[in-house]
Amino acid sequence: MATAFDKQIANRNFLSPIGFKFTLAKYPKVDFFSQSANIPEISLGTAIQPSYLKNLDVPGEKITYGDFRLSFIVDENMENYTAIHKWITGLGFPETTQQYKTQITNVDGQQDINEGFSDGTLHILNSNFNDTIRVKFQDLFPVSLGSLEFQANEGDYNYFTAEVLFKYTVYNFLDTLGKPL
C-alpha cells in the first residue's frame, strides 16, 4: 500500500540557475560559452464551445512556442559569433543568392533546405554538473544576433557577450539517454 511519503519527490535538491550548457549540432566545434538561456514559454490555444448559458473555453489544437534566447561569451577569435553571423547571412543572402545556395548545400554538394536548420540541446545539469534533463530544440535557425560595442575607455575588463535569438519547430524534454520524458 502506497503511503503519502511514496508520493513525494525523491530528489530534494533544487534546480540551480547556473547548471546548464548549450550545444548546437550544426557547429559541434564551436563551443558556446553560455551565460544565459531560457526554456521558452509554451501556450495552448483555446476554442470556444457555444452553450446556451455561457460560452466555454476548451483546449484548442495549436501550440505556440516562445523564442529561444541564448547569451554567450564571445571567444577571442570570434568563432562562435561569426558562425551565427554567417548562418544568418546565409539564410538572408543580403549580397548574392550564392550565399543562400552555400548555406543549404550539404557536405556531399547537394542542395538541401534542411541545411538551413540545426538541432540544439540545452543540457540541464545537476549539483554535480552532470546532465539530468536535455531540452532538445528541433530545426533551430537564428533570426537575431546582438551587436558588439567596442569602447577604448572601458574601465573594467569585461568580456564581450552576445545574444542570439532562435526560432524552431518544437522542443522536447529528454532523459540522459535521449529518451522522451
Which whole number is the average pLDDT over 42-66? 93
Q: 8 is written with which cell numbers?
A: 513525494
Residue 38 falls inside a structural domain: yes
pLDDT in tens, 63-80: 999 999 999 999 999 999
Measured distance CA(38)–CA(64) in Å, rounded: 16
pLDDT in tens, 84-138: 999 999 999 889 998 899 999 998 999 999 999 999 999 999 888 899 999 999 9
Residue 125 falls inside a structural domain: yes
Residue 108 falls inside a structural domain: no
Structural domain of 157 = 14-75+118-174
pLDDT in tens, 137-171: 999 999 999 999 988 886 777 889 999 999 999 99
Q: 152 is written with which cell numbers?
A: 577604448
Domain count of the chain? 1
CATH of the domain at 21: 2.30.110.20
Residue 154 falls inside a structural domain: yes
Residue with more model confidence, 72 or 10 = 72
Residue 110 falls inside a structural domain: no
Cβ contact 19:129 at 8 Å: yes
What are the start-end ranges of the E strands in 33-181?
33-37, 42-49, 56-65, 68-73, 118-125, 131-145, 161-167, 170-174
pLDDT given at position 5: 64
pLDDT given at position 30: 76
Residue 23 falls inside a structural domain: yes
Cα dihedral across residues 166, 169, 172, 176: positive or negative:
negative
Residue 20 falls inside a structural domain: yes
Q: How confident is the model at residue 8 (pLDDT cuts 50, 70, 90)?
A: confident
Residue 180 falls inside a structural domain: no
- 46 three-class SS: strand
Cβ contact 88:95 at 8 Å: no
